Amino acid sequence: MALVLGVDSSTQSTKVEVRNADSGVLIGSGSAPHPPVAPPCSEQDPKTWYEALLGATARAGARRPAAIAVAGQQHGLVLLGERDLPLRPAKLWNDTESAADAKWLREQLDGGAAGWAAAVGSVPVAAFTITKLSWVHRCEPDVFARIRRVLLPHDYLTFRLTNEFVTDRGDASGTGYWSPASGEWRPDVLRIVDGELDWAAALPRVLGPLESIPARDGDAIVAAGTGDNMAAALGLALEPGRVAISIGTSGTVYTVSDTPTADPSGAVAGFASACGRYLPLVCTQNATRVTDTMARLLGVDHDGLAALALSDAATAHESVTLVPYFDGERTPERPDATGLIAGLRNDLEREHLARAAFEGVVCGLLDGLDALGAAGVDTGDELGNQITLVGGGSRSPAYRQVLADLAQRPVVVPAGDEHVALGACVQAAAALHQVSPREIARQWELGSGTVVDPTGSADRAAALRARYAAARG
């Protein structure tokens, strides 16, 4: 029985799954934590990711796999120098120190935001890799002068497994210097950051969806790997017209498209998928950490907060609105923003605050869903298609019901928790068997789950979203 190993290297931890390459049956799993981070300066030593990968794999307890794929947190910047060692801690996606660089970069390309969208499918924000390169160039010129390799988090782990510098089109599309439309690096936009560095030598080779390379210490092959959102799309068997919303440390709204997206407003990132298609996506900075904070302030655990939010009393104070920009915000781009509670009155109860916390996070994500539709992406809204909910927040009955109520669409919660690691397993199996990830997903019967139907009225949902829009300004 051939096995595949899928790796999810996220902001908080590394999680791995070992599955049967033919049936997808889970054989073993393991996890290991990463050092905690907090914006605006959010950095980790890349070597700790590899140590966590080894620890998580050991805890999975299965025999050696035939194929491996690594999915990693998008956008992070890993700089290697002599002997291919990290020059500094990696800057992560939620590091907002490069907000000024994002603004500066948008002004340097002809056409501004529209020019960037046309060139690379997305408008640079502080999360994107190119802004972090600009920050290092501006703030740490001695480090920049010693750069030999520019990698993403999943690229670094693939390098540690293979001694090869490779990436994939999905993760490359989140850098701000690779074009999903042309399928090529854009050294011309990198020369805005620095005109002297040999960018062609510094960037990894982009592998195709079914390509792989040998592991350095065994008979396994290592697939191209990808970004975490692209891997989740594989694990969910997403197709055009079916939207996924992920509620974790950050929030994301995305779907698969047959055509590339170029949104000059910057709300929609025009990413590529890991399977040869495209993955238009909206990302919000604040998600479960908002409800974690509100649970702490109200003196309850996660289950207690959900119980308060779903109680009959929770909907009796409809004027309370929470804007969840606790760590700044990426969409809309407000890196220095803070949270806000509007509509406070003397009859306020804990239940009302609990409900407002979940509603605030969900309203931000539904703004993202609206942005996808405005950019011409098929979101399945006219057909009332199910919304797929994943991420740590999907385990909360409050997030499930509030999303269904405010979207006025059924919400499906797929079985299992680790959809990024599952998607990495799909990619590894596709590379091993040389069939499309879509075929692997069909064979493994992925995509179904528990369905939550909306209970509130459309009028109430519209009124609540209007209050949220007024509060956030």
Q: pLDDT-derived band of residue 186, with 50, 70 and 90 as boundaries? A: very high
Judge whether 381 counts as a catalytic residue: no
Q: Facing residues of 223 across strands?
A: 212
Indicate whether 250 pLDDT > 90.
Answer: no
Count the residues in the chain.
Answer: 473
Q: pLDDT-derived band of residue 118, with 50, 70 and 90 as boundaries? A: very high
Q: What is the average per-residue pLDDT within 397-402? A: 98
Characterise 276 by phi-psi region: left (phi > 0), alpha (psi -120 to 50), beta (else). Answer: left
Q: pLDDT-derived band of residue 39, with 50, 70 and 90 as boundaries? A: confident
Q: pLDDT-derived band of residue 415, with 50, 70 and 90 as boundaries? A: confident
Indicate whether 10 pLDDT > 80.
Answer: yes
Active-site option among 8, 228, 263, 367: 228
Q: Please state, in angstroms and rounded to a whole number, the distance separating the CA atoms of residues 58 and 48.
A: 15
Q: What is the average per-residue pLDDT within 332-339? A: 90
| Domains within the chain, CATH numbers bracketed | 3-236 (3.30.420.40)
- Write out pLDDT tens, residues 275-327: 999 999 999 989 999 999 999 999 999 999 999 999 988 886 778 999 999 98
DSSP conformation letters of 234-278? HHTT--TT-EEEEESSSEEEE--BSS----TTSSSEEEE-TTSSE
Q: What is the average per-residue pLDDT within 12-26? A: 97
Q: pLDDT-derived band of residue 389, with 50, 70 and 90 as boundaries? A: very high
Q: Please state, in angstroms and rounded to a whole number, the distance separating the CA atoms of residues 473 and 470.
A: 5
Indicate whether 342 pLDDT > 90.
Answer: yes
Indicate whether 217 pLDDT > 90.
Answer: no
Closest CA to 427 of 17, 14, 10, 15: 17
| Element containing residue 399 per DSSP (H, E) | helix 397-407
Closest CA to 12 of 92, 78, 77, 68: 92
Q: Please state, in angstroms and rounded to a whole number, the distance separating the CA atoms of residues 392 and 332.
A: 23
Q: pLDDT-derived band of residue 436, with 50, 70 and 90 as boundaries? A: very high
pLDDT computed for residue 62 by the predictor = 80
Q: Please state, in angstroms and rounded to a whole number, the distance separating the CA atoms of residues 56 and 50.
A: 10
- Write out pLDDT tens, residues 256-282: 999 999 999 999 999 999 999 999 999
**DSSP conformational letter for 7:** E
Residue with tokens 């510098």: 165
Q: pLDDT-derived band of residue 1, with 50, 70 and 90 as boundaries? A: confident
Q: Please state, in angstroms and rounded to a whole number, the distance separating the CA atoms of residues 194 and 185.
A: 15
Indicate whether 120 pLDDT > 80.
Answer: yes
User: How does the average pLDDT of the chain come out, rounded?
Assistant: 95
Q: Give every CB contact of residue 94 below 8 A, 6+ residues apart in sequence.
A: 11, 37, 39, 42, 127, 249, 250, 285, 327
The pTM assigned to this predicted structure is 0.90
pLDDT computed for residue 416 by the predictor = 83
Q: Please state, in angstroms and rounded to a whole number, the distance separating the CA atoms of residues 84 and 151.
A: 11
Give CA 335 to chain center in angstroms: 18
Closest CA to 429 of 418, 440, 421: 440
Lowest mean pLDDT among 46-55, 148-157, 355-364, 450-459: 450-459
Indicate whether 440 pLDDT > 80.
Answer: yes
H-only helix segments in 276-386: 288-298, 302-310, 350-374
Indicate whether 89 pLDDT > 80.
Answer: yes
Closest CA to 40 of 109, 117, 94: 94
Q: Please state, in angstroms and rounded to a whole number, the distance separating the CA atoms of residues 212 and 221.
A: 6
